């Protein structure tokens, strides 16, 4: 009876933490692209610098890591293992895996920033939405992701929602842009979608290799290492293109003023950390496919926000795309609720869902 109650508490805690990470992912997924667009629209031109901003806020992660360590120190002696108060949990294999993922993330940041600098938001959203298909494919190969009729229906609806956006991209094309620039932007954005579609299942696979000792503290350590290596990768690009020398001049010439330039830069770095920390949290408590579905669902919402912040037009196609995305999102979670209800009717000894990964802080 006690074990059953403990299992219920763990499931409730897991669900709450999943919702928290979904919220962080939502904030980062909507706020990050808007701030990046604000940077380019108002006079920003440095591709490597904007890429650097996507992971350059990694010092923010030191605060929750420090809070987690202090919590474990205070809880010492309450039945925790002797290793609970270790400063770091990461082992060499996990560190190397995160370093590789970090370099790939840095490359993905560059592809994405380059694409956003060339393409209208509608076209960029359309292409980035293909990330869901890439994630589903790589998740099937790397982590043997199982699909249900509801998850397949969700992928189909979200894909159709993305295609609907193509109906109005011609009117959003930037003025005075050459065909070559437009094509390069298209190729860079599709590369970003494919690469991040690979990164998400790679993170989930790393989690599986770290079990049964993986905790959310270790997950935050992994994101710290990923962000540091991604930032180092982009820093090398900034040194090569001499972005550090240009930033002060760009700030002075920024349309909104020098002070607001630095505000955009700082908040962009912080908001993107919400995206990455939320993404790895959703993968930890859910799956890489769930993370991709949330990201894809929020793309039309980002467009709605762009209407308010950048006075972009809101055509019927955007409304249809938003409705289809929400329908696909609801389909996925309805399938999950049915699966959970079925698992609750299965005896505990036969039910692997009652043994989720540890949610130790």
Residue 8 lies in a domain: no
Q: Residue 219 pLDDT more than 80?
A: yes
Q: Which domain holds residue 252?
A: 25-75+98-343
Give the per-residue pLDDT at 46: 92
Residue at 146 is within a domain: yes
Closest alpha carbon to 209 in 92, 108, 84, 86? 92
Distance from chain centroid for Cα 120: 21
pLDDT in tens, 255-305: 989 999 999 999 999 999 999 989 988 988 888 878 888 887 777 777 777
Domain count, the chain: 1
**In this model, does residue 107 exceed pLDDT 50?**
yes
Residue 12 lies in a domain: no
Length of the chain: 361
Kindly state the tokens that stand for 345.
């009717």
Listed residue (108, 152, 132) closest to 289, CA to CA: 132
Looking at the chain, the number of H-run helices and the number of E-run strands are 13, 0
pLDDT value of residue 176: 58
Give the model's confidence band at 357: pLDDT under 50 very low, under 70 low, under 90 confident, else very high. very low
Mean pLDDT of 319-327: 74
Q: Which is more confidently placed, 300 or 361?
A: 300
**Is residue 85 in some structural domain?**
no
The b-or-e profile of 176-205 (16+ CB within 10 A means b, else e) is eeeeeebebbbebbbbbbbbbbbbbbbbbb
First to last CA, the chain: 25
Residue 356: inside a domain: no
- Asked if the structure places residue 275 within a domain, the reply is yes
The pLDDT of residue 122: 60
**At 326, is the pLDDT very low, low, confident or very high (cuts 50, 70, 90)?**
confident
Q: Is the residue at 351 inside a domain?
A: no
Sign of CA dihedral 215, 216, 222, 224: negative
**Residue 16 belongs to some domain of the structure:** no
Q: Give tens-digit pLDDT for 22-40.
A: 999 999 988 888 888 889 8
Asked if the model's pLDDT at residue 232 lies above 80, the reply is: yes
Higher pLDDT, 60 or 325: 60
The string over 313-332, giving b where at least 16 C-beta atoms fall within 10 Å of a residue's C-beta and e elsewhere, is eebebbebbbebbbbbbebb
Q: How confident is the model at residue 103 (pLDDT cuts 50, 70, 90)?
A: very high
Peptide bond into 323 cis (omega under 30): no
Alpha-carbon distance values, 26 to 31, 296, 359 (Å): 8, 11, 21
Reading the block at residue 278, the tokens are 């939320």
């Amino acid at each position: 009876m006690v074990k059953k109650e403990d299992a219920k508490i763990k499931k409730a805690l897991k669900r709450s933490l999943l919702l928290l990470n979904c919220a962080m992912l939502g904030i980062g997924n909507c706020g990050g692209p808007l701030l990046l667009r604000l940077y380019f629209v108002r006079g920003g031109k440095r591709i490597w610098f904007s890429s650097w901003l996507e992971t350059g806020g990694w010092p923010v992660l030191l605060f929750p890591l420090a809070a987690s360590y202090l919590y474990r120190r205070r809880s010492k002696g309450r039945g925790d293992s002797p290793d609970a108060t270790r400063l770091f949990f990461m082992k060499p294999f996990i560190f190397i895996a995160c370093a590789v993922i970090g370099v790939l993330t840095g490359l993905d940041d560059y592809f994405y920033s380059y694409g956003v600098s060339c393409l209208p938001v509608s076209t960029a959203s359309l292409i980035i939405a293909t990330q869901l298909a890439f994630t589903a494919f790589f998740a099937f190969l790397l982590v043997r992701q199982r699909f249900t009729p509801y998850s397949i229906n969700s992928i189909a609806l979200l894909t159709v929602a993305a295609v609907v956006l193509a109906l109005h991209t011609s009117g959003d094309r930037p003025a005075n842009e050459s065909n070559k620039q437009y094509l390069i932007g298209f190729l860079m954005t599709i590369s970003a979608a494919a690469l991040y579609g690979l990164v998400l299942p790679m993170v989930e696979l790393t989690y599986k290799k770290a079990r049964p000792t993986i905790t959310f503290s270790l997950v935050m350590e992994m994101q710290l290492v990923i962000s540091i290596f991604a930032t180092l990768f982009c820093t090398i690009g900034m040194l090569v293109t001499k972005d550090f020398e240009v930033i002060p001049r760009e700030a002075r010439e920024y349309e909104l003023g020098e002070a607001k330039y630095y505000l955009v830069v700082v908040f962009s770095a912080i908001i993107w950390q919400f995206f990455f920390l939320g993404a790895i949290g959703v993968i930890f408590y859910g799956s890489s496919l769930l993370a991709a579905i949330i990201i894809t669902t929020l793309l039309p919402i980002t467009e709605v926000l762009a209407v308010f912040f950048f006075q972009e037009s809101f055509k019927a196609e955007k409304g249809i795309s938003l409705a289809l995305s929400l329908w696909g999102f609801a389909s996925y979670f309805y399938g999950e609720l049915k699966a959970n209800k079925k698992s609750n009717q299965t005896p505990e000894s036969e039910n692997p869902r009652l043994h989720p990964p540890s949610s130790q802080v």
